[in-house]
């Protein structure tokens, strides 16, 4: 009987792992194509898997991916200038990612996803900046403590320096340096490329920015942010 119980448990664990892998692939597809419907399908799949698992071990990966889905939808609506909807999904992202951080407080990816969601919220208005800014500082300090040289730590730090007012640590030249280095290491990462393009513009290098944005669009015509930046930079 014990052997049968172990076999059933292993089958359940294998099924859950397969579903998580499927959800991860679906997320990556939706994130790259800026497809809200695909990301919502990912959330539905994750919700089915999470049902009844609250408080159990092994929920971290589900919460992390769920939070990343919400954060990506938040960003898509921000690109579309639908601020109200973006804010709503940003708040959902924070709630779920805080669950992920509670499950694994040393996860750099969870802290980074949480920080990116916060950064997109702080940029909505001065009031949002006052509300979420201190939380963002806490997350950035945690990332630097965990690993200051990790990709996610440098990526989040680069966004901070690119978007924040000078009095709160903004540094456009340093942002350009960070994203130039990241682009050298990860030339296929579209988010890195587009943040580098924004950093180029902030440093008076519009032609370099347009070249980079157009290269992203050639590789992925579905990239809504690249399409928007191309219009803004022309």
Q: List, for residues 41-62, the tens digit of each pLDDT value.
A: 999 999 887 765 655 557 899 9
Q: List, for residues 65-114, the tens digit of each pLDDT value.
A: 999 999 999 999 999 999 999 999 999 999 999 999 999 999 999 999 99
Is the pLDDT assigned to residue 14 strictly greater than 50?
no
Q: List, for residues 176-198, the tens digit of each pLDDT value.
A: 999 999 999 999 999 999 999 99
Chain Cα centroid distance, residue 127 = 22
The model's confidence at residue 7, banded by pLDDT at 50, 70 and 90, is very low
Exposure string of 216-230, with b = 16+ CB inside 10 Å and e = fewer, is bbeeeeebebbbebb
171-234: which CATH topology?
Answer: 1.25.40
Bigger pLDDT: 12 vs 174: 174
Q: How many angstroms separate the first and last alpha carbons of the chain?
A: 70
Question: How is residue 56 annotated by DSSP?
Answer: S
Sequence-separated (6 or more) residues with CB below 8 Å from residue 207:
none
- Give SS3 for 124: coil
pTM beyond 0.75, yes or no = yes
Long-range contacts for 195-202 (Cβ within 8 Å, ≥24 apart)? 195/155, 195/158, 195/159, 195/162, 197/229, 197/233, 198/162, 198/229, 199/158, 199/162, 199/172, 199/175, 200/176, 201/233, 202/162, 202/172, 202/175, 202/176
Q: What is the CA radius of gyration of the chain?
A: 19
Class of domain 8-153: mainly alpha
- What is the rounded distance in angstroms from the CA atom of residue 131 to the CA atom of residue 40? 28
Q: List, for residues 125-168, the tens digit of each pLDDT value.
A: 888 878 888 888 899 999 999 999 999 999 999 999 999 888 88
């Amino acid at each position: 009987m014990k052997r049968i119980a172990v076999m059933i448990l292993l089958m359940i664990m294998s099924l859950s792992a397969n579903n998580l892998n499927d959800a991860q692939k679906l997320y990556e597809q939706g994130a790259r194509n800026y497809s809200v419907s695909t990301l919502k399908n990912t959330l539905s799949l994750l919700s089915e898997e999470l049902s009844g698992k609250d408080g159990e071990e092994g929920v971290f990966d589900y919460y992390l991916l769920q939070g990343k889905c919400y954060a990506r939808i938040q960003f898509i609506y921000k690109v579309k200038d639908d601020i109200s909807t973006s804010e709503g999904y940003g708040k959902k992202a924070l709630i779920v990612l805080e669950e992920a951080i509670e499950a694994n407080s040393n996860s750099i990816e969870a802290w980074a996803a949480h920080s990116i969601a916060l950064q997109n919220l702080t940029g909505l208005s001065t009031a949002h900046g006052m509300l979420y800014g201190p939380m963002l500082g806490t997350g950035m300090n945690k990332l630097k403590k965990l690993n200051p040289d990790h990709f996610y730590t440098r990526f989040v730090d680069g966004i901070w320096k690119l978007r924040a007012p000078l009095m709160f640590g903004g540094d456009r030249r340093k942002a350009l340096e960070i994203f130039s280095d990241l682009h050298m290491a990860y030339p296929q990462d579209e988010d890195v490329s587009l943040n580098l393009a924004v950093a180029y513009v902030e440093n008076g290098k519009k032609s370099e920015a347009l070249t980079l944005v157009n290269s992203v669009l050639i590789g992925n015509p579905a990239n809504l942010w690249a399409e928007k930046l191309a219009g803004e930079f022309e």
